[in-house]
Chain A
Amino acid sequence: MIHQDSKTILEVSGLRAAVEGVEILKGVDLIVKSGEVHAIMGTNGSGKSTFAKVLAGHSAYQVTGGSVLFEGQNLFDLEPEERARAGVFLAFQYPIEIPGVSNSHFLRLAYNTLQSQRGKDELDPLEFEDFVREKMKLLEMNPNFLDRGVNEGFSGGEKKRNEMLQMALLEPRLAILDETDSGLDIDALRIVTNGVNKLANKDNAIILVTHYQRMLNYIEPDYVHVMRGGRIVKTGGKELALDLETRGYDWVGVERRVPASA
């Protein structure tokens, strides 16, 4: 929700990034303030997932231009783990399986790392167990998730819920949800989006990266951005998403398209 005393959390200016020498982002501009929910939409290959990964600091992507300030700090001065500890959270489109590492151990380590970063008390395994079980209720998750390997053998929906559980535990300032809706059936979508809504507050901000409007039926965005050819070519309110649903992406930003060589 847009509110008066909101602070700027993220300021992206002219961001360019490449993977294996091919430029994918060609000048992204975006300002995100606390309390806001932004949706970034676009077709496959428009650069929206790349944008999410660049913000989180995936090493396969090279930043070739522009700047990103996170709460006033140059984001690119921080290593990926430092960005996470500073409060940048990426919910993965394809959460990674880590066989043999128990989910509860992983979650607790992540949680305690952040707690100590924030100068708060770490939780021992028993305390953590109680704490995480409460959070799991929010996402209607079975407690046996804790004993399994991280995402090991999880269904698509289970993986996404596990991502949301991590978000609930880590309470990020900026949460970037990369196609969290993909692969979810309607019940799972309701549970996951319900969880996101409960986590959204006036101090944090959420960026939803999605193909489809359907997620936005559950999470109401303050802004909808359309990405195309590595840039944000149109910004509007939630009604823009509905337009996209009926008219497709082809009409958006055609007039502003720049040749790739530019």
Chain B
Amino acid sequence: MSAVLQNLVNQPYKHGFVTEIESDIAPKGLNEDIIRLISTKKNEPAWLLDFRLKAYQQWLKMEEPKWPNVKYRQIDFQAISYYAAPKPKKKLNSMDEVDPELLRTFEKLGVPMHERAALAGVAVDVIFDSVSVATTYKQKLAEVGIIFCSISEAVHAYPELVKQYLGTVVPVGDNYYAALNSAVFTDGTFCFIPKGVKCPMDLSTYFRINTEESGQFERTLIVAEEGSSVSYLEGCTAPRFDTNQLHAAVVELIALDNADIKYSTVQNWYAGDEKGVGGIYNFVTKRGLAKGANSRISWTQVETGSAITWKYPSCILQGENSVGEFYSVAVTNNYQQADTGTKMIHIGKNTRSTIVSKGISAGHSNNSYRGLVRIAPTASGARNYSQCDSMLIGDQCGAHTFPYIQVRNQNAKVEHEASTSKIGEDQLFYFAQRGIGNEEAVSMIINGFCKDVFQQLPMEFAVEATKLLGFKLEGSVG
């Protein structure tokens, strides 16, 4: 790929993040007054302010985790401004106004039309002239009783539901970053699938009509009632930039009896330059509670961006026969660092979990898998299968695996497989000898390596992810 294109991928683009007027921004620093200010500005009910203050009190007593296998400069939490009034993205009136270079990048990545529009900040209605896709979308969902809106909206419109579930999977004092998020989160997504409803389409944040940025402390809550199912897509393959370096999101999923939640992420945040300068710190807490019998929670993630990734989408398998899944591809290049994996906590009888983790390291990057499989004494007949594969490209990068297994029940069965491979000169020579150049060879090898994960992704996401990986690893071989 040309250097031009490569630069494009790793370059902040001009549109969409223009700060027009920054009048309504809180002073830097974190204290109770700031939290009260956030809550007042958002016109929140008292219970939510209590929630925030409790989280803040916990946070004060906590320490930043030191155990992840990542290195970064100490974050000054008092140098961050925790509230800015939601500012609408700069709206463009047609695709013609979008930077043509950006469009070419989308083209190369194969980003679908509607996504391109949303990403570039063009009003979706303009692109699809007859009926707004987003509006149709919302109508369809409303017909079956699905609630899909921003969490701020939900706090006002559905306070009982939010109150009932918020913080039940990730308690306010769960960990340092979750506590911080609970204290200061500004917005995010709320999704509620009522009893027996199979969500008729994949839910994606692009189509949430609210176009304001959620900010650096995003909060997502998804509840699937008895017998319902939903597939939720987060992120996108196109590069995403943000002026905030620290991102600490919390995602909570709750599946009741026979409910099924599938959560897919493609993360391509700014990773810093090729020397490791800049880039997003992505410290996320994602956890699903498979609360009901026969419920299922499935995480699929393709992590390619961020300077530092600290993320362990987990499942608490409480209901009998509940199922947890984690499929992950984590790619690090240049000086990126990723410490990612999952936790599968088996509590209910005959609970099952599957972990498939594929780590690809290139350049000077470090990629760690960290996983915990815990079988509680109550989890008779529980089963886990874990597979952790690492691939190294070049000889300056690192791949690490930290699997923790705790089994407290004699009837449980836990399997763990791991492998490390290297894209070698010999493999590339073999391809070359058959007329296939390095770039295409690497892409084929990588896609072969990630196949088990990619096939878990919704179709169009999978196609994009495939291209994205080729993109990210461009020039790292040969």
**Which 5 A-B pairs give the minimum distances between C-beta atoms?**
A100-B448, A80-B432, A110-B434, A101-B448, A84-B435
User: A102: which B residues are within 8 A, CB to CB?
Assistant: 448
- Which of A89, A95, A113, A149 is B436 in contact with, Cβ under 8 Å? A113
User: B200: which A residues are within 8 A, CB to CB?
Assistant: none
User: B429: which A residues are within 8 A, CB to CB?
Assistant: 56-59, 80, 96
Cα-based distance from A113 to B429 in the complex (angstroms): 16
In the complex, how many angstroms separate the beta carbon of B23 from the nearest chain A beta carbon?
54
User: Given the interface contacts A60-B425, A96-B427, does A170 sit within 8 Å of B434 by beta carbon?
Assistant: yes
In the complex, how many angstroms separate the beta carbon of B392 from the nearest chain A beta carbon?
15
21 residue pairs bridging A and B, Cβ less than 8 Å apart? A80-B433, A81-B431, A81-B436, A81-B438, A83-B433, A84-B432, A84-B433, A89-B433, A92-B430, A92-B433, A98-B430, A98-B431, A98-B445, A99-B448, A100-B451, A101-B444, A101-B447, A105-B444, A106-B434, A106-B444, A110-B434
Interface string of B306-334 (1 = CB under 8 A from A): 00000000000000000000000000000
Cα-based distance from A102 to B447 in the complex (angstroms): 11
Cα-based distance from A92 to B445 in the complex (angstroms): 19
Cα-based distance from A59 to B425 in the complex (angstroms): 8
Asked whether any CB of chain B lies closer than 8 Å to the CB of A117, the reply is yes
In the complex, how many angstroms separate the beta carbon of A108 from the nearest chain B beta carbon?
11
User: B433: which A residues are within 8 A, CB to CB?
Assistant: 56-57, 80-81, 83-84, 89-90, 92
In the complex, how many angstroms separate the beta carbon of A148 from the nearest chain B beta carbon?
12
Contacts of A162-209 to chain B: CB distance below 8 A: 166, 170
Contact B430 A100 (CB under 8 A): no
In the complex, how many angstroms separate the beta carbon of B111 from the nearest chain A beta carbon?
24
Contact A95 B430 (CB under 8 A): yes
In the complex formed, the residue of B with least CB distance to A87 is B435
Asked whether any CB of chain A lies closer than 8 Å to the CB of B202, the reply is no
Asked whether any CB of chain B lies closer than 8 Å to the CB of A48, the reply is no
Where chain B touches its partner, the secondary structure class is: helix
Asked whether any CB of chain B lies closer than 8 Å to the CB of A243, the reply is no
Contacts of A99-122 to chain B: CB distance below 8 A: 99-102, 105-106, 109-110, 113-114, 117
Asked whether any CB of chain A lies closer than 8 Å to the CB of B234, the reply is no
In the complex, how many angstroms separate the beta carbon of B327 from the nearest chain A beta carbon?
15
User: B451: which A residues are within 8 A, CB to CB?
Assistant: 100
18 extra A-B contacts, CB within 8 A, seeds A84-B432, A109-B444 = A56-B433, A57-B432, A59-B425, A81-B431, A81-B432, A84-B433, A85-B435, A90-B433, A95-B430, A96-B429, A98-B427, A98-B431, A98-B445, A99-B449, A100-B451, A102-B448, A109-B436, A113-B436
Total number of A residues with any Cβ neighbor in B under 8 Å = 31
Contacts of A35-83 to chain B: CB distance below 8 A: 56-60, 79-81, 83
Contact A149 B448 (CB under 8 A): yes
Of B427, B429, B431, B434, the most chain A CB neighbours within 10 A belong to: B434
Contact B434 A166 (CB under 8 A): yes
In the complex formed, the residue of B with least CB distance to A79 is B432
User: B444: which A residues are within 8 A, CB to CB?
Assistant: 98, 101, 105-106, 109
In the complex, how many angstroms separate the beta carbon of A109 from the nearest chain B beta carbon?
6
Cα-based distance from A89 to B435 in the complex (angstroms): 9
Interface string of B49-86 (1 = CB under 8 A from A): 00000000000000000000000000000000000000
Cα-based distance from A85 to B445 in the complex (angstroms): 21
In the complex, how many angstroms separate the beta carbon of A67 from the nearest chain B beta carbon?
21
Contacts of B135-150 to chain A: CB distance below 8 A: none
